[in-house]
């Protein structure tokens, strides 16, 4: 192993052949960018006849024809020229390719395999990963290693040995429809011409921000080995908590720990109310996996959460190796006991983790995105488990709970032991958009209550335009000083400054979009949702999250939540019912103060 300052990083286009190798009683179909390596490998396995079936093709096309030949049992038929030509014709028709000249019996010269030490080095660094060749180079640089043999040759030899899987970035299904083998999607593929190899190509737009997935670009993957890691310290992995768990947290903590310890179920939902401390509850499950030498992934959509959680968990487990991976982080490829990663970064993990904890499953961009579900599931080892954490689970998880297909752990109370503030619904069928006196009347009444209580208020609206209009309307109101009200939205240039100022209590009224529906904790707060009946924006989960901003602090566990609209929607009624049901469950279990 040598220290490395740099490594050639030219874009690698995989152009290669489909081949058939056969002996007296059996055969094998494969694809190769250097058939001489395959020839050497199979000769060592006792095969003597080696035949190229296609001209050089992009890996996605070559893999399609290999699979087509496999379905026709060509590996058993041997050198059946009639069957070969028939399959070729079918495959070209499905992909819309013009015919090509039959591959001549070109002489394939055997090549020396890569050195054993380099093979083992790459095998080790690939464990639990799915990489482009270029990402593997970055991993080698980060881990300060270097090899002399071309990486694509070492990786191909490992593929021949069965130690590594070889995929095309973009491939085809059985019907010739292109799909991305990295993110699993087939809806956002653009047909282009590759500037590097000049072949007709597809590029996946869905996962483009993590590097180009192409028809001519290979992916290499290796799952984590079954061996148990031996820890080099004697201290057990018990978390160092700075506070005692509440009764509700302790019950959920023990149930999460049992879920992992028993290992009977592959998935479990931890359904907690907003502000209940669900992360601390997951510590029991994490501890159980770490103590037996396993690896844990904690993933959520937002990098801000990952960065904050990294600092917290380093103090909880100071004796462990913990790593945070997100866009812009510098340490993406080294190993660790506990890895925290944004959901997009899980694209680089393959069958690695014994436990995957997925937080904020309902939050953007994870909500409703099958690609991110696909890659998170792929990061789990085949014998591993998934623990979902959320206050607002998506419909599919709730339906699975109702059908008893998914285990569920309820955390229905906050640590301070007070019930959740239940929303008050205000309706007026004549309520119109901004400027109407009725709108101003309801708003001023709720703001007056807030100011008398000496607390702050978040006013939620559905668009940036409405933020600007309402700030102007309130600033010109005689009962409110202009300096008391400000606005905030996702693309606001002073967003962080305004939020920090509001946190410090420098002004009482903040008008915002749903950008602040989660992730913000203000000790003394009321919230108001204006036109809560706009279900395009304010669905059940959004309303529950907004209501969950109130009453989080033990110093002020009460507060007001107002939903204002022309009518009561299903989402408004459902959100109120969910909050009320959790309060009733908490009372029933003895988690709330009498």
Q: What is the pLDDT of residues 123-159, one digit of tens each?
A: 999 999 999 999 999 999 998 899 999 999 999 999 9
Provide the whole-model pTM: 0.89
Q: What is the pLDDT of residues 491-540, one digit of tens each?
A: 988 999 999 999 999 999 999 999 899 878 899 999 999 999 999 999 99
C-alpha to C-alpha distance for 64 and 71, rounded to whole angstroms: 11
Helix (H) or strand (E) holding 537: none
C-alpha to C-alpha distance for 594 and 591, rounded to whole angstroms: 9
What distances in angstroms separate CA 167 from CA 12, 14, 141, 164, 170, one per listed residue? 14, 11, 24, 10, 8
pLDDT band at 12; cut points 50, 70, 90: confident
The residue among 520, 282, 555, 542 whose CA lies nearest residue 418 is 555
Q: How many other C-beta atoms lie within 10 A of the C-beta of residue 175? A: 6
pLDDT band at 233; cut points 50, 70, 90: very low
What pLDDT, on a 0 to 100 scale, did the predictor assign at position 49?
A: 87
Estimate to the nearest angstrom the gap between the alpha carbon of 57 and the chain centroid: 33
What pLDDT, on a 0 to 100 scale, did the predictor assign at position 234?
A: 39
Helix (H) or strand (E) holding 218: strand 218-222
What pLDDT, on a 0 to 100 scale, did the predictor assign at position 83?
A: 86
Q: What is the pLDDT of residues 438-454, one digit of tens each?
A: 777 888 899 999 999 99
Residue 583 has pLDDT above 50, yes or no: yes
Task: Note the helical H segments in 380-463.
Answer: 395-402, 437-452
Residues 6+ apart with CB under 8 A from 117: none
Instruction: Give the three-class secondary structure for 290.
Output: helix
pLDDT > 90: what percent of the chain? Answer: 65
Q: Exposed, middle or buried by CB within 10 Å (0-12, 13-18, 19+), for 241? A: exposed
Residue 76 has pLDDT above 80, yes or no: no
Instruction: Give the three-class secondary structure for 331.
Output: coil
What pLDDT, on a 0 to 100 scale, did the predictor assign at position 436?
A: 63
The residue among 467, 542, 473 whose CA lies nearest residue 512 is 467
- Strands ordered across the beta sheet of 407-411: 322-325, 338-342, 296-300, 353-359, 380-390, 267-272, 407-411
Residue 9 has pLDDT above 50, yes or no: no
Radius of gyration of the chain (CA): 29
Residue 435 has pLDDT above 70, yes or no: no
Residue 4 has pLDDT above 50, yes or no: no
Tell me whether strands 338-342 and 296-300 are parallel, antiparallel or unpaired. parallel
Q: What is the pLDDT of residues 159-216, one digit of tens each?
A: 999 999 999 999 999 999 999 999 999 988 999 988 888 888 999 998 888 889 999 9
Sign of CA dihedral 233, 235, 236, 240: negative
Q: How many other C-beta atoms lie within 10 A of the C-beta of residue 95? A: 17
Q: What is the pLDDT of residues 461-500, one digit of tens each?
A: 999 999 999 999 888 887 788 899 999 998 988 999 999 9
Query: Are 14 and 216 contacting, i.e. CB atoms less than 8 angstroms apart?
Result: yes
What pLDDT, on a 0 to 100 scale, did the predictor assign at position 105?
A: 52
Residue 184 gets the label, from left (phi > 0), alpha (psi -120 to 50) or beta, of: left
Which one is predicted more confidently, 12 or 546? 546
Q: What is the mean pLDDT of the chain?
A: 89
The residue among 349, 406, 403, 355 whose CA lies nearest residue 378 is 349
What pLDDT, on a 0 to 100 scale, did the predictor assign at position 24?
A: 74
Q: What is the pLDDT of residues 290-337, one digit of tens each?
A: 988 899 999 998 888 899 999 999 999 988 889 999 988 888 888 888
Q: Exposed, middle or buried by CB within 10 Å (0-12, 13-18, 19+), for 426? A: middle
What pLDDT, on a 0 to 100 scale, did the predictor assign at position 180?
A: 94
- List b or e across 505-538, with b for residues whose CB sees 16 or more CB atoms inside 10 angstroms: eeebbbbbbbbbbbebebebbbbbbbbbbbeebb
């Amino acid at each position: 192993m040598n220290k490395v300052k740099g490594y050639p990083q030219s874009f690698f286009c995989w152009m290669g052949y489909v081949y058939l190798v056969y002996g007296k009683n059996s055969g094998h179909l494969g694809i190769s960018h250097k058939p001489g390596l395959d020839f050497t490998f199979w000769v060592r396995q006792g095969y003597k006849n080696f035949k190229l079936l296609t001209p050089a093709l992009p890996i996605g096309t070559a893999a399609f024809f290999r699979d087509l030949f496999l379905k026709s049992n060509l590996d058993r038929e041997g050198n059946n020229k009639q069957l070969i030509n028939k399959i070729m014709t079918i495959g070209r028709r499905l992909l819309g390719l013009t015919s090509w000249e039959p591959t001549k019996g070109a002489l394939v010269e055997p090549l020396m395999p890569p050195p054993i030490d380099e093979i083992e080095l790459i095998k080790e660094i690939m464990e639990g990963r799915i990489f482009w060749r270029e990402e593997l180079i970055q991993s080698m640089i980060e881990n300060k290693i270097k090899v002399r043999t071309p990486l694509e040759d070492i990786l191909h030899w490992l593929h021949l040995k069965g130690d590594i899987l070889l995929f095309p970035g973009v491939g085809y299904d059985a019907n010739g429809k292109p799909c991305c083998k990295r993110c699993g999607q087939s809806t956002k593929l653009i047909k282009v011409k590759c500037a590097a190899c000049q072949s007709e190509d597809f590029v996946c737009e869905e996962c483009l921000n993590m590097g180009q997935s192409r028809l001519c670009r290979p992916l290499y993957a290796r799952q984590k080995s079954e061996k148990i890691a031996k820890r080099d310290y004697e201290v057990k992995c018990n978390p160092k908590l700075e506070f005692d768990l509440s009764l509700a947290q302790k019950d959920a903590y023990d149930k999460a720990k049992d879920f992992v310890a028993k290992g009977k179920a592959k998935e479990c939902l931890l359904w907690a109310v907003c502000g209940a401390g669900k992360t601390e509850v997951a510590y029991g499950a994490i501890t159980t996996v770490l103590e037996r030498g396993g690896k844990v992934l904690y993933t959520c959509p937002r990098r801000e959460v990952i960065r904050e959680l990294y600092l917290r968990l380093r103090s909880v487990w100071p004796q462990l190796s913990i790593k945070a991976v997100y866009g812009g982080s510098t340490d993406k490829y080294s190993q660790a006991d506990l890895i925290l990663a944004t959901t997009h970064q899980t694209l680089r993990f393959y069958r690695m983790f014994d436990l995957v904890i997925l937080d904020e499953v309902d939050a953007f961009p994870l909500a409703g995105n099958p690609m991110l579900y696909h890659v998170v599931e792929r990061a789990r080892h085949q014998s591993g488990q998934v623990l979902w954490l959320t206050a607002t689970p998506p419909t599919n998880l709730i339906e699975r709970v109702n059908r008893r297909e998914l285990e569920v752990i309820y955390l229905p109370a906050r640590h301070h032991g007070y019930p959740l503030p239940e929303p008050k619904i205000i309706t007026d069928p004549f309520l119109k958009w901004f400027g109407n006196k009725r709108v101003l009347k309801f708003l001023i009444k709720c703001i007056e209550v807030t100011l008398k209580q000496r607390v702050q208020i978040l006013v939620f609206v559905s668009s940036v335009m409405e933020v600007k209009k309402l700030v102007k309307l309130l600033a010109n109101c005689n009962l409110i000083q202009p300096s008391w009200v400000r606005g905030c939205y996702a693309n606001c240039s002073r967003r962080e400054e305004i939020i920090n100022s509001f946190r410090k209590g420098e002004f009482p009224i903040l008008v915002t979009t749903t950008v602040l529906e989660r992730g913000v904790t203000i000790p003394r707060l009321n919230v108001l949702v204006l036109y809560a009946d706009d279900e395009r924006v304010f669905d059940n989960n959004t309303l529950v999250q907004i209501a969950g901003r109130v009453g989080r602090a033990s110093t002020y566990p009460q507060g007001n939540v107002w939903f204002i609209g022309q009518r009561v929607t299903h989402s408004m009624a459902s959100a109120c019912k969910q909050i009320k049901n959790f309060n009733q469950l908490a009372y029933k279990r003895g988690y709330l103060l009498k």
